[in-house]
Structures are given as structure tokens and as C-alpha cells.
Amino acid sequence: MLVLGIESSCDETAAAVLADGRRILSNVVASQDAIHAPYGGVVPELASRRHLEAIVGVVEKALADAAVRLGDLDGIAVTQGPGLVGSLLVGCSFAKSLAYVAGVPLVGVNHLEGHIYAAFLTDDPPVHPFLALVVSGGHTALYHARAPRKYALVGETRDDAAGEAFDKVAKLLGLGFPGGPVIERVARSGDPVAIAFPLAQMTDQASDFSFSGIKTSVSYHVKRHAPLAEREVADVAASFQAAVVKMLVRRTVKAALRLGVKRVVLTGGVAANGPLRAALAAEAADHGLTLHIPPPWLCTDNAAMITAAGTVRLAAGERAPLSMNALADLPLAG
């Protein structure tokens, strides 16, 4: 099965072609980092406008790189949600037009399921059931993947997503955007135990996350000690990163043990973070859990993951009507 996938949920315009849902024939991503950097975060209106400008060229390149024509496709998959509604609408509208012209089936894909399916594009794909930690700029959640296309929400963030917290702390420290990569880089020269930032505790024992408290704590620290020397900035970055990593790892491993699953998937943009990958790998090994992590280039938003998830749904007989609409808050599980 030859499938074209389109991703435009936030600030990357992406398209990919996959054969049989596993073999990547092309994977094209147009980043908008330079456009949003001056604002310290993604500006939705600017993002949707850039998608409009880029999507034709991105899809044409994906087809050309894969050496296929529109008529060769067996289906088209597109991110239906969740995400920025203006951005999603660009991808959905374009995908529906292509499906109509080519006369091929269309399927809408949940962006979070796409992140999970990034793990299936590796040489060691997970086997169901497993627990997936999806951690990105807009989402931080734990899903019990009981079987293909069957998910149960185990825990989620009650406020900011982890990636959003990275962006906001980077802005507080004057480090630029996107926050995740720059904080990881600056933190390498800092002391991760220099500052004891608080870890959110759930009084109801839920497997949920909260990052607003640590973000506020960093803000207070920066104001109290301003102006910060370069070494102090590195210590704040390292201590903040260590606290977030500890929170993510603890909640994930605890949830896996409670559910009795033996496999864990780490995915999403923040899964490209080296200390998080290393800490979860070590903790998983200590508890006899098998950890699956896609390479960093598959963790950040891309269309290969959307195509992989979409291929599974197309093969199962799912079809989206041309009246399909973008859904900014599309849930993966009830």
C-alpha cells in the first residue's frame, strides 16, 4: 500500500510517502522556527499563513523524492487534530482536494497517534500492549495502547505541556526559541542539583503531570537573582531540565508498573531530549521494562509518523468523507 501523509498541526509543514506503512520513501519537513523565534513561541496566524505558502511545494517534493505520481497512491492520510485549527485546516483542505482529484480514499489521523506510530518506523517496533508517553510542545500524556487503534488515557498534564514549559523557561532566561534544544545545550555546562525546583505532587495519586508550578518557581528565581551571570543561567537551565525529566520518568514508570505492561514508548518532540531518553532508559531497565524510542528526527513533528498511523487505519477499512473537518481538540481516547 502506497500512502501519502500530510502534517500541519502546528508550525511544521510536512509530507511523506510510505510503502506498506513501514518503508519511508520520502519525508519532507518545512520548519517555521525562524518565523516564530522573535515571539518566543508559535503565533497561530503566522503559522497558518506559512502553511498556505509552503504546502504545495512540500507535497510536490515528497512525491518527487519518492518517485511516485498522485495516481500511484492507494490512499492519503492527514492530521485532523489536535492542534492549531488554522494550521490543521490548511492540511485537511489540501488533503481532501488531492483525494478527490486522485480518486483515492482519505483518512484523518490523530496527531498523538502519529507520534506513537513513529516508534513503528524503527527496526525494533513495539508490540501491543504498551504504555506510551507522548510529550511535546502542546501535549503531555500517557496512553495505554491495548491493541492497534485502541487507546486508554492513563494520565495527562493539568496545565502546561512539558514542551511549553521548556519554551517559557527559555524565554525567561533569554535563550531563544524553540526552548527544548537550547535549554538542553545550555544545561550541559550547568549543575542539575544547583537549585531545588519543586516537583508537582498529585494529591489524588493520579498519573497526571503539572508544569505550571516549576515554571513559576523559575520565574521567581530569575527575578530574585537578576541579572543572572552566564554560569547561573546554565545552572537554572540544568536544574529545571532535571526536575522535568524526573517528573516525567517517575510518573511513566509508576504507571507502567501499575498497569502491568512490559513495554514503554517515549515519543513526541520533547522525546528528542538526551537526558530524558537516558533517564527513562535507565529507570526502565531497573524495573525490567523494554523501552522504545524513535530517533530524534522522528520524535519532532513529521509526516512519516502520520502516514504510518494512517496506513493502519486505511488497511482496517476506515474512510473519511470529504466533509471531514479539522478538530483542534480531537481526543485520542475517551
CA distance 152 to 292: 19
Judge whether 2 and 19 are in contact, CB under 8 Å. yes
Judged on CB neighbours under 10 Å (0-12, 13-18, 19+), 274 is middle
Beta strand 23-31 with 150-156 is unpaired
pLDDT at 187 > cutoff 80? yes
Indicate whether 160 pLDDT > 80.
yes
* pLDDT 10s digits, 118-145: 999 999 999 999 999 999 888 999 999 9
Smallest CA-to-CA distance from 13 within 53, 69, 66 is with 53
Q: How far is residue 108 from each of residues 30, 111, 315, measured CA to CA in Å?
A: 21, 9, 13
Residue 90's closest CA among 331, 255, 325, 330? 325
Instruction: With a cut of 90, say whether residue 334 has pLDDT above it.
Output: no
- Give the CA distances from residue 334 to residues 28, 232, 259, in Å, rounded to whole numbers and listed in that order: 32, 44, 18
Provide the β-strand partners of residue 267: 134
Give the chain's domains with CATH numbers.
2-116+299-315 (3.30.420.40), 128-293 (3.30.420.40)
Is residue 17 classed as helix, strand or coil in its secondary structure?
A: strand
> Which among 280, 265, 322 has a CA at the least distance from the CA of 120?
265
203 has a pLDDT exceeding 70: no
Residue 106 pairs with which residues in a beta bridge?
76
> Angle, to 10 degrees, between the axis of helix 230-259 and the axis of helix 274-286?
40
Tell me what percent of the residues of the chain surpass a pLDDT of 90: 94
The predicted model scores a pTM of: 0.95
* pLDDT at position 19 over 80: yes
At residue 232, the pLDDT reads 98
Cα separation, 117 vs 123, whole angstroms: 13
Q: Mean pLDDT across the stretch 171-193?
A: 96
What pLDDT does 44 receive?
96
The per-residue pLDDT of the chain, averaged, comes to 96
Instruction: Name the DSSP class of 188.
Output: T
Judged by DSSP in three states, 245 sits in: helix
